[in-house]
Structure 1
């Protein structure tokens, strides 16, 4: 495996761990996958979230209202390495519950990872609705 292939595999594993934590409602593991200064741009919110703490506050509110992820599947992965930064793009199929209502979403997501020592942490997430 070349050094580039090795780094790409590390990013793939970091992304898989992030998605798995989200899919299993493992809040601690999910937020540990992001750097403190991570930013988030979700089409479902009126404004960007400019830190992991800001997103965690929104997440906690959702959970208090009965939010839970029931499943999340990643497909069509593309990884672009840019030095100590990696751009991870994928399609994501998510099944969630808000209170007693369940919804399914087909979305496209970009997650930017930055190398922190030997660990790739997400530093930006952008979620978009997928075109019909």
Structure 2
């Protein structure tokens, strides 16, 4: 498997786990010291634990991921141990108020640590639906 394929496999696991609301498996794809910049949050989340705490609050309000589709995908390898993955993402969500579809652009920075590709940063920005 090429490095690009290995990065894509790691990212695809993250996306699939997110899209099926497999919370623990989803978070296992991120390094403990990963950071997160979400347009829906007022401040950067400084660790995976911070994001997990935010996720838990969302779940208390009925948050549930129903599906996630990834398109316009690109991997840029940065040496042997770093990569940037970008894509367009469409997510179907449910919360206490009903269902909604969210369209965003996402960047995930990946780093190989001890032979395993992990996400070390995630950035989401809104985009208009196609």
Q: Flag whether TM exceeds 0.5 (same fold).
A: yes
Instruction: For residue 64 of structure 1, report the CA deviation from its aligned partner.
Output: 1.2
Instruction: For residue 100 of structure 1, report the CA deviation from its aligned partner.
Output: 3.7
Runs (4+) off by over 2 Å: none
Gap regions ≥5 residues in structure 2 = none
Distance 1:85 1:126 in 2: 16
Structure-2 residue corresponding to 1:62 = 58
1:1-132 alignment runs, 5 A limit: 6-83=2-79, 84-131=81-128
Q: CA RMSD in A?
A: 1.1
Number of residue equivalences: 128
TM-score, structure 1 as length reference: 0.94
Distance 1:63 1:131 in 2: 26
Distance 2:97 2:64 in 1: 10
TM-score, structure 2 as length reference: 0.95
Gap regions ≥5 residues in structure 1 = none
